[in-house]
Structure 1
Amino acid sequence: MSSKFNPSKPSQLDFHRPKTKRLRDLTQPSGTENENVGRIPKLTDESKKCIRNLAAYRAPKPKFHHPRSKSAAVLVALFVGRQGDLYVLLSRRSSTLRTYAGDTSLPGGKVEQGDKSMEDTARREAFEEIGLPKDRTKVPLLCILEPFLAAELIVTPVVVLILDNTLRPVLNANEVTSLFSHPLSSFLTTSPPFPTEPDTLEVPYHTSFDFRSSGPSIPLGQEKDRGQNEGGKGKEQQTLFRVHQFLTGREAGGIKPVFGLTASILIHTSTIAHARAPSFELHPPSPPNPPTPPMQVRIAWALLNKPSFTEACTKEGVDLGKARKVLEEWEREVLRERRGARRTKSSKGWSKL
């Protein structure tokens, strides 16, 4: 993620091609495509729909500002496989990095001074880490997703499509050990996209586990207490979250599964692309558990309660009033739903008398 990275062989970054297939050409009906232009394989009908869906997607407008010093972006770089299906590029982080060493991740990093947008940040980081050119004709933007909350950052995914299959990666060894791909559709299913070996049959392709962490929550049975303390920050509770994991099929070679934030981003990307929900439950069941708060609510809570975020907001002059309003509106909505459910249950009980 260092801006000082210079490839040892600059000539490898000369990806010039006089002809590159345009994004709108990819979604034309079969029979109208020139399959030799840009060496892009012929897309399946499902892949064409995915590209249309992603290109048409517009994330909800944020209701409050984020501190720039706590903002980051990742690049969800899609490309067309040999059979016309969509794949996403994933990297193995260097084992020498201070954070998330050796993890499977998407190219990305924190916003830097010269970045004018989240797209700029994601493209710059991808160029620095894996040598992906910033050329928007070869790698056009499909969409920008809503932000996700990481441990100490607010991460915005930027989805692009690689139109030139002659591009070759140039890895920054200080940050990336290897680069590989995974089918985008496989983040909606529990079935592996690769042949399973006999000695790994006991390890499911998709797994998830629930854990408790600090966050916005209104425990069941506390309808009279709106969960707010002085200042309207929202009372700190232990919120139940679900984390997802997908095997890559490369674990024998030391590649870690797709896990946590990266998995959540790719589940969301695939859900938008294929216009269908995953075959597994995204969140813990509610009830008996309190509902998992939406990501925007979690970010609002973090800005109001986590010291590193609050200090960044104070330093940058970020007004937290709108974040507080989002949190309060969510609390009121949860309480209204609970009261409605309680009244419905009560009326059903009387009807049996």
Structure 2
Amino acid sequence: MKIIDLYILKRYLATFTVMLLMFIPIGIVIDVSEKVNKMIENKIPFLEIALYYLNFTIYFANLLFPIFLFLSVIWFTSKLANNTEIIAILSSGISFTRFLRPYIVGATIVSVVVLLAGFFVVPKASQGFNDFRYEYLKGGGKEKMRKSADVFRQVNDEVFLHVGNFNHNSKMAFDFTLEKFDKNKKLEYKITAGRIKFNEKTKKYTMFGYKRRDVGPLGDRIQAQAKKDTVFPFELEDLTPTVYVAETLTLGELNDFIAKERKRGSGNIDTYLVVLYKKYSLPVSAFILTIIAVAVSSMKRRGGMGMNLAIGIGIAFTFVFFDKIFGTLAEKSSIPPFLAVWLPNFLFGILAVYLLRNAKR
């Protein structure tokens, strides 16, 4: 790698790092100013607050890294253009495509870091961040993020259940129904209970008002007990996971979770798939935004660096806006999650090719 490549690569990584170190403290200060009253009211230990802001830093650095990366590339490339360094580089016989090489190397380094962090580090930070918010800062706590009424679940290929009402704090459900089918999809037996309670120590369920109906070829057999203890192949946490559960799982855990939820017929599959696909699409956006930033800022403009930054901020926020809008549409509408997640990269990829061609001219 030539000296000029190392020079640009160092500027790329250093400016991106400085941009993160500049804006994250500002975000922390704003967040503290908004939440300090609730933190004092709830008498939250300082160690938990410190851990929350560590998770906050990781969570938002990953969420907003496209903006930080885009602005940092705009910033230092505009400085190169204003100092006529880019003109000197291109006048020496280096093509614009060759000039882009250190930028692509920098984008590769950032993408690999973001990809690995999204697989293993960010999920744990997301869990700590969300758990803290819903435990201390939001009314209703984590239970607000669970489905609590008319819960239908497919436990496996043969067992289906329904719960009329569910309270996760008391580990208790009401109007419980479980149906077991054979391989030919014929009902084998049906269990109902007015109330069912889960014991975390024994992993057993206590059913109150227990009734079981076994379906037979010559007639049905009915059993009834006021109270009965039994074991089921599920836990209450599996029945009504929090909405943000997918964000808190590492790559392997998320794939297993989606497979299990798909088998159970979960209605939140699209939400979980959006989280999975974004783990891959977000790092790819580093390359697209880098090319757009270089194409926009490599030309010396009459407005100087301020004009380039204004254009850059507009494009960066438009990208984030599209990313959020299509992600929400995938969760709430019939748009396939894969298409919704990758569409912003596709659209801005076309823009990157167009701007790059103009920049070469």
The verdict on a shared fold, with TM-score over 0.5 as the criterion, is no
TM bracket, shorter-chain basis: under 0.3
Alignment TM-score, normalising by the size of structure 1:
0.23
Report the structure, 1 or 2, having the larger helix content.
2
Larger gyration radius, structure 1 or structure 2: 2
